[in-house]
Chain A
Amino acid sequence: MAKKKQVGYLSAKEARRISKENRKITNEFEKKRKRKNVPESEYLTTMHDPKNAVEFDDLHTYFYTDAGTVKAVDGVSFNVPIGKTVGVVGESGCGKSVTSLSLMQLLQRPQGQVASGEIRLNLGDKAYDVTKAPNSAMQKIRGNVVSMIFQEPMTALNPVFRIGEQIEEVLELHNVDHMTEHQMKERTIELLEMVGIANSEGVYKMFPHELSGGMRQRVVIAMALACNPRVIIADEPTTALDVTIQAQILDLLRNLKDKINSSIMFITHDLGVIAEMADFVVVMYAGRIIERGTAQEIFHHPAHPYTIGLMASKPVVGKDVEKLYSIPGKVPNPINMPNYCYFKDRCEMCVKGCEGAYPKEIKLSETHSVSCYRYYGQKED
């Protein structure tokens, strides 16, 4: 048939071969991960800069699917400084969520595996390499040191447990301060008040379905903050919410960050939200970082054609444009990535050098760097 000859269609024989190979690879990863009594020295490491809460170093997260290996995150390195907010922007499928899930070690296993690279997590007196840490160690970290605010508050809460029970579960599991049951309840109610729920005693006894979307998101935030985490990952926390509720939640997150001095990794595709929240911005495209810098640098002097296109394609209130700019084409197939710049086929600002291999990152200033051939010449001058 004609269809079989098309690109992207696999014969059954080939699919079998791929899945057999995949199993070999993933079994090895799984074996390593399931070992018991792993000595701490194996995943103990030192931070390159003690002022950072998290350091991603050349992270590669692959998904071994039956259709081929998807390089969801392909060599990402960036730092999250203590007490700062780092915004991660990009289209859906660019690997921003997978980056954060790698830090939490919550990848869809066994297909999803961190193939190489390090994620160094600062625990104050020591530092762990999360990618090598076994499950038993991860369990102490998740929810305690690193916690996550999920995208959809509707699905992140368990419908059959009361709000109070769900928050207390986190406290109970990581009972750091050896609280009694009564103290835990007090702490839970205090948390609910902290996230701006007026009727905290009442909400404590409610079920998730009795709350509105904004309230549920507050509960999810309260749960994430329960153990005063050092790092909060906010994965599109306001995408499912209205503008007015979004404003409330963003205000809340900003105030809370100052109160407990933790770092936030803020993942979103809304540039407006990023501008408001983030100190540093990382722009991702097809599994790689294409540009990074402070929020001022990224918004006032975007350098990569993709970032520029992204800015131009968003209508802004009070700015009249005849026609919105739209980036032509679409993201390349994640299984067969080209060996040149991933954005070349959609780029309208191509230069001669673009024919070459994927461009290396180039520094424009102390904090601002970009992966694009357009800036290679400038540096030599």
Chain B
Amino acid sequence: MSKEKAQNLRIDNTFDPVTYDPQYILMVNNLKKYFPIKGGMISRTVGYVKAVDGVTFNLKRGTTMGLVGESGCGKTTCGRTILRLSGDKTGGQVLFNGKEVYDLSDREMRSMRTKMQIIFQDPFSSLSPRLPVGEIIGEAVREHNVVSRAEFDDYIDGVMDNCGLQPFHKDRYPHEFSGGQRQRICIARALAVNPEFVVCDEPVSALDVSIQAQIINLLEDLQEKYKLTYLFISHDLSVVEHISDTVGVMYLGNLVEYGTTKDIFGEPLHPYTKALFSAIPVPDPDAKMKRIVLEGSIPSPANPPSGCKFHTRCANCMKICSEVTPEWKEIRPGHFCACHLYDDVKPAETAAE
């Protein structure tokens, strides 16, 4: 057992470093985040949960990238790892404005925090019940000295106004607000420090349909106003299609497909993406769909299948799929995919389906 296990434990950390390209606000290169599994008598590390296992993408300034996938595929961990919110990374690079996020000292990181912010999934648990709303929004502003003390009150009023909150809400506590209003508070909190980049971690999943539309519109308006860049994590594909410019599809810690929204939704390449899209319910009772039903559920990330991780559920599984890990390559300009079906296709050439 020892040999096999030892091999499993060794973390492969080889990648080609990327050079900074100023058009991208964020460059993620082969990012890995493993969580150790402790076991045995003396709590040795006996294995790893490979939550994020080699994710590569670049994010242009002022655009929105959607990150979709089933629950447990590592979308949220990916977002948090980019912001350096879950300890150290395991491997790879995160270049934010050309600077490696994980190389910054604590002090530098602290000032960098104003540039990158996160909106959490659940507006019911991400707000402190003991602080009034004005303090929740203003705390970071004061700590980072974003504005002078004299302008502080007006500034907070302005931020709240932008997010559709009234100034008199400042003295209220989170429990006095409805779900949609709380999500506005979360958004106001994130935007109060003038960030350039915001990770939106399922910001509308906990909300009703009519409230969802309000929040999505708000996010879009704010993006236009402040030239924000979003990483929009969601499992609701229709929302992602609406808001995103580019989309990455994740499966078990890996990106399996990445491209512009039009390409991904118009001509999905990877069998997983196709299955995912065919599962979206369409609000039309007469729509006849050919649904690709994926059997079973997502395998354990602690012990992922060999070769292509999707081969256990894939409809187009071939012999090679269980043996060789498919390459991440550009099938068409700007449209990346990792699948053996496209092995013969020369990179970045128009292929016939």
The chain A residues found within 8 Å of chain B, CB to CB, are 91-92, 212-215, 242-248, 250-251, 269-276, 278, 295-296, 299, 309-311, 313-318, 321, 323-327, 330
Cross-chain pairs A/B with CB under 8 angstroms, 23 sampled: A213-B71, A243-B280, A244-B275, A244-B293, A244-B294, A246-B281, A248-B294, A251-B291, A272-B282, A275-B282, A275-B285, A276-B282, A296-B285, A299-B284, A311-B283, A313-B209, A313-B212, A315-B241, A316-B282, A317-B280, A321-B242, A324-B217, A327-B213
A244 to B284, CA, bound (A): 19
Within B178-217, which residues are at the interface with A (CB < 8 Å)? 178, 180, 208-210, 212-214, 216-217
Known: A215-B297, A242-B235. A247 touches B279 (CB 8 A): yes
Question: Which of these, B208, B235, B237, B297, contacts A317 with CB under 8 Å?
Answer: B237
Known: A313-B209, A313-B213. A245 touches B285 (CB 8 A): no
Complex interface: chain A residues within 8 A of B165 (CB): none
Total A-B residue contacts, Cβ distance less than 8 Å = 114
Q: Say yes or no: is B238 at the interface (Cβ < 8 Å to chain A).
A: yes
Question: Which of these, B209, B220, B265, B284, contacts A310 with CB under 8 Å?
Answer: B209
**A296 in contact with B209 (CB, 8 Å):** no
Nearest A residue to B178 via CB reads A330
A329 to B339, CA, bound (A): 47
**A272 in contact with B242 (CB, 8 Å):** no
**B209 in contact with A271 (CB, 8 Å):** yes
**A275 in contact with B242 (CB, 8 Å):** no
A214 to B178, CA, bound (A): 29
Q: Say yes or no: is B287 at the interface (Cβ < 8 Å to chain A).
A: yes
**B213 in contact with A272 (CB, 8 Å):** no
The chain B residues found within 8 Å of chain A, CB to CB, are 70-71, 178, 180, 208-210, 212-214, 216-217, 220, 235, 237-239, 241-242, 265, 275-287, 291, 293-294, 297-298
Complex interface: chain B residues within 8 A of A270 (CB): 209, 281
Q: Could you tell me the distance in whole angstroms from the C-beta of A107 to the nearest C-beta in chain B? A: 23
A296 to B284, CA, bound (A): 8
**A326 in contact with B291 (CB, 8 Å):** no
Question: Which of these, B178, B276, B283, B293, contacts A314 with CB under 8 Å?
Answer: B283
Complex interface: chain B residues within 8 A of A243 (CB): 70, 235, 237, 276, 279-280
Complex interface: chain B residues within 8 A of A213 (CB): 71
Complex interface: chain A residues within 8 A of B209 (CB): 91, 269-271, 310, 313-314
- Closest A-B pairs by Cβ, 8 of them: A272-B281, A313-B213, A315-B242, A326-B213, A247-B279, A295-B285, A324-B213, A271-B283
**A245 in contact with B297 (CB, 8 Å):** yes
Known: A246-B279, A270-B281, A317-B280. A326 touches B239 (CB 8 A): no
A241 to B298, CA, bound (A): 13
Known: A242-B235, A310-B210, A315-B242. A299 touches B71 (CB 8 A): no
**A317 in contact with B210 (CB, 8 Å):** no
**B285 in contact with A244 (CB, 8 Å):** no
Q: Could you tell me the distance in whole angstroms from the C-beta of A221 to the nearest C-beta in chain B? A: 15
A278 to B291, CA, bound (A): 18
A279 to B96, CA, bound (A): 52
**A313 in contact with B210 (CB, 8 Å):** yes
Question: Which of these, A212, A272, A314, A324, contacts B297 with CB under 8 Å?
Answer: A212
A338 to B232, CA, bound (A): 39
**B277 in contact with A317 (CB, 8 Å):** yes
**20 other contacts beyond A299-B285, A313-B210, A321-B242, with CB at 8 A cut-off?**
A242-B235, A243-B235, A244-B279, A247-B293, A247-B294, A272-B280, A272-B281, A272-B283, A276-B282, A278-B285, A295-B285, A309-B210, A313-B209, A314-B212, A314-B213, A317-B280, A318-B241, A323-B217, A325-B213, A326-B217
Interface centre among A244, A247, A324 (most CB of B within 10 A): A244
A120 to B233, CA, bound (A): 46
**A316 in contact with B214 (CB, 8 Å):** no
